[in-house]
Structure 1
Amino acid sequence: MSWQAYVDTNLVATGKVQKAAILGQAGGVWASSPGYTLSAEEQKAVIAAFADPVTAQSQGLRLAGQKFFTLSANDRSIYLKKAADGAVIVKTKQAILVTEYAAPIQAPEATPIVEGLADYLISVGY
């Protein structure tokens, strides 16, 4: 399966994730939903947030030009909020899944989708 198919089929097609991108931990966008563009600075900040979750917690993150506040951050997952919308970012062995959901979808609906795909990718070496 292509990386784009993971974005389209496993994330966006669920109806629980509005926008998604898969980043390589070494940098670069492997796949993204149409029109969802993370700047080079935003990509670097997402990657750096896993090395320094305390800074991510205090400063939040920007995704596609939108500022999100950090609800929680650790070395695997970062959960963000912006008004009624939110984002779930999960690190695998080689990739980082960056997803956004929009109201009326809530975190408990989107989070298992993203975490489940991350678990699968980890299980197959990614």
Structure 2
Amino acid sequence: MSWQEYVDNNLVGTQQFSQGAIVGLQGGVWAASKGFDVSHAEILALANGFKNPDTVRTNSPLVDGKKYMVVKADERSIYGKLGKGGFCAVKTNQAIVIGVYGEGVQPGSAASVVEKLADYLIANSY
């Protein structure tokens, strides 16, 4: 399966997310849903947030140019809220899986989807 298929089928295709991406820890976009533009700087800020969660707690991260309030940050996961939606970002060995959800989606359900995809990628050495 291609990286784009993971985004299309395992993130956006679950109906939990309006947008999603898999990006490299070093800053490159491996695959993203149409119109979802995660910048190099945004990726590096998230990657740094996994190393030092206080950085994203005090300096809310941008994802696709939108500033989110962080509700959870640790060495594996960063969750943010914006209005009635939010994002989930989970680190694997080589990548970050990002899903953005909108109003009507339960944050816990959305987080479960991203966490499971990240676990699958980790189990397959990514």
Tell me if the contact between 2:26 and 2:44 (Cα under 8 Å) persists in the aligned partners: no
Alignment of 1:58-73 (within 5 A): 58-73=58-73
Residue 2 of structure 2 aligns to which amino acid in structure 1? S
- Farther off after superposition, 57-66 or 2-11: 57-66
Structure 1's consecutive aligned runs of 4 or more residues displaced over 4 angstroms after TM superposition are none
CA positional deviation for 1:108: 1.3
Residue 32 of structure 2 aligns to which amino acid in structure 1? S
CA positional deviation for 1:39: 1.8
Alignment of 1:74-89 (within 5 A): 74-89=74-89
Which SS does the other structure have where 2:68 is aligned? strand
Residue 52 of structure 1 aligns to which amino acid in structure 2? N
CA positional deviation for 1:98: 1.2
Residue 59 of structure 2 aligns to which amino acid in structure 1? Q
The answer to whether 1:121 aligns with 2:121 is: yes
CA positional deviation for 1:4: 0.3
Structure 2 residues without counterparts, runs of 5 or longer? none
- Farther off after superposition, 7-16 or 52-61: 52-61
TM-score (norm 2): 0.97
Which SS does the other structure have where 2:118 is aligned? helix
Residue matched to 2:32: 32
Tell me if the contact between 1:21 and 1:29 (Cα under 8 Å) persists in the aligned partners: yes
TM-score (norm 1): 0.97
Alignment of 1:82-97 (within 5 A): 82-97=82-97
> Could you tell me how far apart the structure 2 residues matched to 1:88 and 1:38 are?
14
Aligned residue pairs: how many?
Answer: 126
> Could you tell me how far apart the structure 2 residues matched to 1:109 and 1:43 are?
23
Root-mean-square deviation (CA, aligned residues, Å) is 0.8
Q: Deviations over 1:24-74 (max 9, x none)?
A: 112200000000001222122111111110111111111111110000100
CA positional deviation for 1:11: 0.6
Residue matched to 1:52: 52
> Could you tell me how far apart the structure 1 residues matched to 2:71 and 2:57 are?
7
Structure 1 residues without counterparts, runs of 5 or longer? none
- Farther off after superposition, 55-64 or 29-38: 55-64
Which SS does the other structure have where 1:105 is aligned? coil
Which SS does the other structure have where 2:4 is aligned? helix
